[in-house]
Structure 1
Amino acid sequence: MRILMVQGGFGAGGAEKIMCALAHHRAAGGDEVHVAAMRMPKTGSFFSYSPEISLHVLDRAGRRPPAPVLQPMRALAIRRLIHKLQPDLIVSFLTKVNCLTLLAAAGTGVPVVISERNNPTVQSPHFWRRLQLALMPRAAGIAMQTKAAVADLHPAQAARAHVIPNHCNAVAFTRPAPAGHCRFVAAGRLDHQKGFDLLLTAFAQMPADCAATLDIFGEGQERQQLESQILALGLTGRARLAGLAPSAQSWLGAGDVLVVSSRYEGFCNVVAEATCSGLPLISFDCPYGPSEMIIHETNGLMVANGDVPAMTAAMTRIARDRALRDRLGSSAHITAARLSPAQILAQWDRLIAEADDHVLPSASTASS
């Protein structure tokens, strides 16, 4: 089978990580795999691809086109690539890319599997969310990461959607040497979604006699704002922006407890990595993802979404209770078994096989 996979970019991110793994899995099974994206970092793909997987960059080099024509040009670039490669099946990740790919594939007869990788109810502009819902009947297959995400779909689409969480291996990491204080870590893009502003506020409100530090791993557009917040809250020397972690092993081995302060998620890979690897964690109960991996008081602590005082209380409690941290970190088997790569990739294989046999709807059906 010749498969074309389409994503937003070749940078660091959960969607990019999973597409890379799926591409290698299908290539290992004998498929001819092509992966396309709008953008390529100047340093090359963050995730390494084997030589047998062909990479395609869709945006033209040079000046970025004006906003009104950017997305139509991208849809046209996808359509040209479809005509060039003549794939047997297309897999697309992320709301906007799903829309562009479904439009580009219209009339080609090539089945398209779409996968939502974030939370479109709050993450995507209303236009793209509405367009994806309207185009979804055209998709030959639908993959959502959580049961909660499926519940937000139209009943007809929810009935045929597959729940395929991200796979996750237990990460072998070296725990830091014992210290006289609790070392909190957080990891993710420095943007509004990840809620690091809320985390810094919660951390600043911990009692003065509760010794703790906070390292936030990641890069993004809110770095300067967060640096200013650290200074304003008097957290210099206790909280820091630690930069981009080259691997999960880096941030897992840097602390005693992971804190997830996201306002919303599509799945939350850092929760998967922590729960599979045995690092205790605290998380806001944000939509979607954390509540489907964390069992409160068993492998982590859940806090009402956005409740900063409750987050402060949970951080204070776990910082003062080493036995609690040890107990929560001893339950990695619970999530690791459910998210094993073999099991998750087999679910993708079933969806792709189902989509390959799918009869594409007529134009009248697709518009209904």
Structure 2
Amino acid sequence: MKKICFFPGTLALGGIGKLFVNLIEEYAARNIAVDVFLTKKEGEFLDQIPANVRIIEGKGRALTSIPKFIKYLNAERPDAVISAREFLNIVNIACCACSSAPTLPVVSLHTNQTAQNFYTNTDKSLYSNSYFIRMARMLYKKPKKIIAVSGGVADDFAMRMGVPRQKIEVIYNPVYKEYVEEAAPVNQTFQTFTKDGRRFIVGVGRFALQKDFSTLLKAFHLVRKTDDITLILLGEGPLRQELEAEIKSLGLTENVLLLGFVDNPLYYIKRAAAIAVSSKFEGFGNIIVEALGVGTPVVSTDCPSGPSEILENGKYGKLVPVGDPQAMATAIVETLHETHNPAALIARARDFAVPKIADEYLAYIYSN
């Protein structure tokens, strides 16, 4: 029987947590033996782990969990350990090398570090530390398999770490699931904003610099000059107060609704006239696939990396330059007045279906 261990650190909200949970659920349903090694047993996705999946808890942090992790590898001898995040990938490779088990470390890359460092102007990545780079380059020479969630992420990692590009496999995120209609949320403000069938566009994500909601607000202000439409933002984050102030300064208080984090974002996305993604950088862009999966048109920045690959350079949605409110506004207005083919968008989303991507992971892990 195949046996796979996932090593995500924690199961907190975010794209990586969602990716791992989707794969864990899929493999558990196939009766593949699945373990999850957590440095700390916490995170919003914990309650989604199937009952037939074993969770092993470490010692709170990656470094302090190393002895227990190696002991686990020696005792349980999984075929592969799939990790994500910079330091956990290095720990995965090192621990597999130190154990007596023939376990294969499979490291997954989720961020375009060059773009992140450029746009945030604060290089906090471990890959900016010269000692870490030397250690990482040494460890990446050891037997392992490397998965990048987009071609852009793979290209960036190869350049930064000196790993031959052909040794990095691009496997997109397992995102798409058939949409099941959920009960309407009880939100009086949303109902008021959209009464009488008023159209709205939606933005989704953490209120942080990466998502650049400021550009979206400026673009929406321009859209309002020609179209009577509402903007609904789903998310929370450290820049909420700044966004609220900008909404007020642009005179959009009656036209922008901040709903915070919601349990069923697809309910809103499915009913939106379009979704607007204003990110400065991504690794992949899960929300774009989710929008396509319910047939909602997409306008996205052509940021590094992911959106252009998902949208096939504009075939399945509009791409605009990063940080350009006028270009985004123009694309949104065009989208609002065009006829769309939801079936074609959903068909594209199925290219990122969980079972399909899970098969690609298995094929790569168990290939020679």
- TM-score (normalizing by structure 2): 0.81
- Deviation, structure 1 residue 166: 1.5
- For 2:21, the equivalent position in structure 1 comes to 20
- Deviation, structure 1 residue 262: 0.8
- For 1:58, the equivalent position in structure 2 comes to 58
The CA deviation string for residues 32-55 of structure 1, in whole angstroms up to 9 with x for no partner, is 21112344447x535611111012
Secondary structure of the corresponding residue to residue 199 of structure 1: helix
The CA deviation string for residues 277-313 of structure 1, in whole angstroms up to 9 with x for no partner, is 2100100001111111214664311111222221122
For residues 137 and 330 of structure 1, do their structure 2 counterparts lie closer, same or farther at Cα, with a shift above 3 Å needed?
same
CA distance in 2, matches of 1:14, 1:132: 24
For residues 170 and 282 of structure 1, do their structure 2 counterparts lie closer, same or farther at Cα, with a shift above 3 Å needed?
farther
Counterpart check, 1:164 vs 2:168: no
- Deviation, structure 1 residue 188: 1.6
CA distance in 2, matches of 1:317, 1:310: 11
**In the alignment, is the contact (CA less than 8 A) between 1:94 and 1:115 conserved in 2?**
yes
One of 263, 268, 291 as aligned partner of 2:308: 291
Amino acid at match of 1:53: V
One of 319, 323, 327 as aligned partner of 1:306: 323
Secondary structure of the corresponding residue to residue 159 of structure 1: helix
**In the alignment, is the contact (CA less than 8 A) between 1:275 and 1:293 conserved in 2?**
no
CA distance in 1, matches of 2:294, 2:305: 21
- Deviation, structure 1 residue 258: 0.4
- For 2:83, the equivalent position in structure 1 comes to 92
CA distance in 2, matches of 1:76, 1:128: 24
Secondary structure of the corresponding residue to residue 48 of structure 2: coil
Amino acid at match of 1:94: R
CA distance in 2, matches of 1:318, 1:336: 19
CA distance in 1, matches of 2:350, 2:196: 31
For residues 114 and 296 of structure 1, do their structure 2 counterparts lie closer, same or farther at Cα, with a shift above 3 Å needed?
closer
One of 232, 246, 267 as aligned partner of 1:215: 232
- Deviation, structure 1 residue 20: 1.4
**In the alignment, is the contact (CA less than 8 A) between 2:280 and 2:322 conserved in 1?**
yes
For residues 38 and 339 of structure 1, do their structure 2 counterparts lie closer, same or farther at Cα, with a shift above 3 Å needed?
same
**In the alignment, is the contact (CA less than 8 A) between 2:308 and 2:314 conserved in 1?**
no
One of 197, 210, 220 as aligned partner of 1:203: 220
- Deviation, structure 1 residue 257: 0.6
Alignment of 1:36-115 (within 5 A): 36-41=37-42, 45=45, 48-60=48-60, 72-76=63-67, 78-83=69-74, 85-108=76-99, 109=101, 110-115=103-108
For residues 173 and 85 of structure 1, do their structure 2 counterparts lie closer, same or farther at Cα, with a shift above 3 Å needed?
same
For residues 16 and 276 of structure 1, do their structure 2 counterparts lie closer, same or farther at Cα, with a shift above 3 Å needed?
same
Counterpart check, 1:137 vs 2:144: no
CA distance in 2, matches of 1:157, 1:199: 37
- Deviation, structure 1 residue 184: 0.8
Amino acid at match of 1:3: I
Percent identity over the alignment is 24
Secondary structure of the corresponding residue to residue 264 of structure 1: coil
Secondary structure of the corresponding residue to residue 366 of structure 2: helix
One of 332, 343, 346 as aligned partner of 2:345: 332
Please say which of residues 279-288 and 291-300 is displaced more in the overlay.
Answer: 291-300
CA distance in 1, matches of 2:361, 2:79: 16
The CA deviation string for residues 195-254 of structure 1, in whole angstroms up to 9 with x for no partner, is 112212222233434212111112223323323332333221211221212134233234
Please say which of residues 143-152 and 24-33 is displaced more in the overlay.
Answer: 24-33
Amino acid at match of 2:127: W
- Deviation, structure 1 residue 92: 0.6
Select the structure that is richer in helix: 2
